[in-house]
Structure 1
Amino acid sequence: MFKSKTKYTWEGWDSSGREDWVFNVKHPCELIGVHAKLIDNQLREGEKIEYCIYAPRISSTSTPFGFKSEESSCGVCMTDNRFIVTKNRHIKDIAPSLTSIDFKDIVYFNIGSALLLSWVSIAYVQDGKLQQMPILFGSNGRHHFEKALRAYKKYCLGLNTEEFNFDTFSASGFIHKISDNIHRSHLKTLISQNERCILTFSCQYLWHKVTENRSLFRKSRESYVASKATVLFTSKALLIARDGLGTSVGNCANALNIPLDKVSSLFFLEEKENDNAIHKLRINFIKEKDPLDISLMSLDEKAEIFLNNIQSLLGDTKQKEEQR
């Protein structure tokens, strides 16, 4: 068995970045390849390590949801105040990269899978601009990234549910209300300890418009490309799980997690288009100047009433986040 002579467990091991498994370690020094030294040297005195992951490179460089990344092995270290991500493309003359993402700069994150491919993408603000940190990895390691994201969420501020007149539920007592098995699987693994579930509903997620060209004497007609989605509102986040399009339906899903303490305002509008009710969520963030627009269809009455009143719930978390 290989044995290092230094504090770095795998120093001297010639890593190709094509190891067979995604794994977690207790300290960055146990990571494979260049990731160990890069992250260890970045740690600050007194910084608490929450979770460390090594993910070997895979051949895929893009996902069905548009997230793209170069083929590279990755090291991820989550501490008590930031994510440290290293990437090594294993190409001569291309140096490994390191990115530090403070919790205060995170806006939202995505996690999803399509058969053997999985991904995480962290959206964060750097120098006033929204950036994405996508990480692609084998699906056999998805549970490690889910655990890291749950650990991050314990640092997110939540609603004081006792102030509002509605029932809340533990994840174990609520998750069965999500009817779609794949969406349920993706969402339940993102609910952190002490996070309370408030409402869930099924709907259609609208991707984009398409124009149907008709004959000379008939007007063109616009319609939407949509996929099945599930919305989950908790004491800490707005989560939306949605299917992929085309042949990926049933095999591909992505979950968006928007921490409520990152949201400054949320507007809910209803528009009529071609006899269809289009429900639009416009989410404004405390740090990011550009809003996130989400369009949904097929909402039930209970969901509409809740979303119309959602803005009144956000004041408490917004005030706490701005005071940080």
Structure 2
Amino acid sequence: MFKSKTKYTWEGWESSGREDWVFSVKHPCELIGVHAKLIDAQLKESEKVEYCIYSPRVSSTSTPFGLKAGESSSGICVTDKRFIISNNRHAKGTEPKVNYINFEDMLSFNIGSAMLLSWFSLEFIDLEETKRLTIIFSSNGKHHFQKALRVFKKHSLAINTDDFKLDSSSPAAFIHRIKDKIHRDYLKTLLSDHEKCILTFSCRYIWEKVLNKRSLLKRKNQVAYLTSKATVLLTNKALMIARDGVEHSIGTSVDVLNISLDKVKSVILFEENSDSEKIYKLKISFNEEVKQDMLDISFTDIDEEAKIFLNDIPSFLNFTPSLNAPWHK
């Protein structure tokens, strides 16, 4: 068995980045390849390591939901304050790099899978601009990334549901209300300790797709609107949307979008008529420090109860920060 002579468990062992599985370790020093030193050098004495993952590279660089990433191995360390993520392209002339994302800068995340391929994507604020960091990995490691996201949500700000007399429940008592079994299984793995569920409903998610139309004389783009099954779950920490892909068989491609409520300034629901059916557009604007246009999410087949509640969301967005958020202590 390989033994290192330093505190880095695998120092001296060359990693190709093509190991067979995603795995977790107790401390960044146990990560393989360059990731151990890169992440360990970023750690501060004041922060606590909560979860660490090594993810080997896969050949795919895109997902059915439009998320893209370079082919690289990655190290992910989740502390009580931030994500520290290293990437190694394993290519000559390309140096490994490390990034960190403070929890207070997080806007949203995506996680999902299509058969053997999975992804983990963080949207965050960096110098008043929004950026995204995506890792594509083998689906055999999905549970590790789900746990990493639960750690983040554990430290996220929460709405005090008691102040607004909202009917909320623990995940264990609420999760059976989600009708779609596949969506239920995805969503429940992303609910953190003490997170409270408020509302769920099923609907159709509307995707906008640009189609290239060619004729003998010219080529033009045409916008098509496609729908897929979706489940919305509102908690005291996030607006979560599980949606099927539109280019795969039902149930084989699912993505969950989690929008952190502490960065949301306003939510407005618009209703439009199109081809004899109603379309509901949820327009989400973020706090002033976020230089980003409104996020538009479109649905069909929303029931009256869900419509009423979505219209009421603005009334409880000005919540008191939770005491378990370390950056507000």
Instruction: Find the counterpart in structure 2 of residue 94 from structure 1.
Output: 94
Identity rate of aligned residues, in percent?
58
Q: Counterpart of 2:314? A: 311
Distance 1:226 1:318, change over 3 A: farther
The residue number in structure 2 matching 1:218 is none
Deviation at 1:125, TM superposition (A): 1.2
- CA displacement at 1:209 relative to structure 2: 6.5
- Quote the residue 2:43 is aligned against: 43
Q: Which residue of 1 aligns with 2:169?
A: 169
Q: Distance in 2 between matches of 1:50 and 1:71?
A: 26
Runs (4 or more) in structure 1 with deviation over 3 Å come to: 317-321
| 2:302 corresponds to | 299
Do 1:210 and 1:225's aligned partners in 2 also have CA atoms closer than 8 Å? no
Instruction: Classify the secondary structure of the residue corresponding to 2:32.
Output: coil
Q: 1:319 to 1:28 in 2, by over 3 A?
A: closer
Aligned to 1:289: 291
Contact 1:69 / 1:135 at 8 angstroms: preserved in 2?
Answer: yes
Aligned residues: 315
How far apart are the structure 2 equivalents of 1:90 and 1:266? Answer: 43
Give the deviation of 1:127 after TM superposition.
1.9
> Distance between the aligned counterparts of 1:305 and 1:210, measured in 2?
32
Q: Give the letter for the 2:304 counterpart.
A: E
1:192-226 Cα offsets, whole Å, 9 max, x none, are 00001111000011112789x9xxxxxxx997311
Specify the alignment match of 1:185 in structure 2: 185
Change (3 A) 1:182 1:319: closer
Q: Give the whole-Å Cα distance in 1 for the aligned partners of 2:255 and 2:223.
A: 26
Q: 1:16 is paired with a residue of what secondary structure? A: coil
How far apart, in 1, do the equivalents of 2:286 and 2:136 lie?
A: 26
- CA distance in 1 between counterparts of 2:321 and 2:151 reads 21
Residue 264, structure 1, aligned to residue 269, structure 2: no
- Structure 2 CA distance for aligned equivalents of residues 222 and 65 of structure 1: 17
Instruction: From the superposition, tell whether residues 275 and 318 of structure 1 become closer, same or farther in structure 2 (CA, over 3 Å).
Output: farther
The alpha-carbon deviation at position 247 of structure 1 amounts to 2.5
1:238 is matched with 239
**Which residue of structure 2 aligns with residue 61 of structure 1?**
61
Secondary structure at 1:120's aligned position in 2? strand
Alignment gaps of 5+ in structure 1: 214-220
Question: What amino acid is aligned across from residue 265 of structure 2 in structure 1?
Answer: S
Structure 1: distance between partners of 2:166 and 2:255 = 28
Shift of 1:259: 1.2
User: Which residue of structure 1 aligns with residue 16 of structure 2?
Assistant: 16
In 1, the alpha carbon distance for the partners of 2:4 and 2:250 equals 46
CA positional deviation for 1:252: 0.5
CA distance in 2, matches of 1:317, 1:122: 25
Alpha-carbon contact 1:278-1:295 (below 8 Å) kept: yes
CA distance in 1, matches of 2:320, 2:201: 23
Task: State the TM-score, normalized to the length of structure 2.
Answer: 0.91
8 Å contact kept, 2:83–2:101? yes
SS at match of 2:171: coil
Relative to structure 1, the CA distance from residue 274 to residue 318 in structure 2 (aligned partners, 3 Å threshold; closer, same or farther) is farther
Cα pair 2:158 2:321 within 8 Å, conserved: no
CA displacement at 1:246 relative to structure 2? 2.1
- Per the alignment, in what secondary structure is the counterpart of residue 249 of structure 1? coil
Where 2:162 maps in the other structure, the secondary structure is helix
| Contact 1:267–1:283 (CA under 8 A) maintained in structure 2 | yes
1:262·1:318 contact (CA, 8 Å) conserved in 2? no
The answer to whether the Cα contact below 8 Å between 1:175 and 1:188 also exists between their aligned partners in 2 is: yes
Q: Secondary structure at the match of 1:151?
A: helix
TM-score w.r.t. the length of structure 1 is 0.93
Q: Could you tell me whether the CA contact under 8 Å between 2:270 and 2:281 is conserved in 1?
A: yes
Distance (whole Å) between structure 1 residues aligned to residue 234 and residue 274 of structure 2: 27
In structure 2, the residue matched to 1:274 is: 275
8 A contact 2:159–2:322 mirrored in 1: no
Distance 1:200 1:128, change over 3 A: same
State the Cα distance separating 1:317 from its structure 2 match: 4.8
Q: For residues 267-295 of structure 1, what are the alpha-carbon distances to aligned partners after superposition, in whole Å with 9 as ceiling and x for unaligned? A: 11111122221111111112323221101
Query: 1:60: how far off?
Result: 0.8
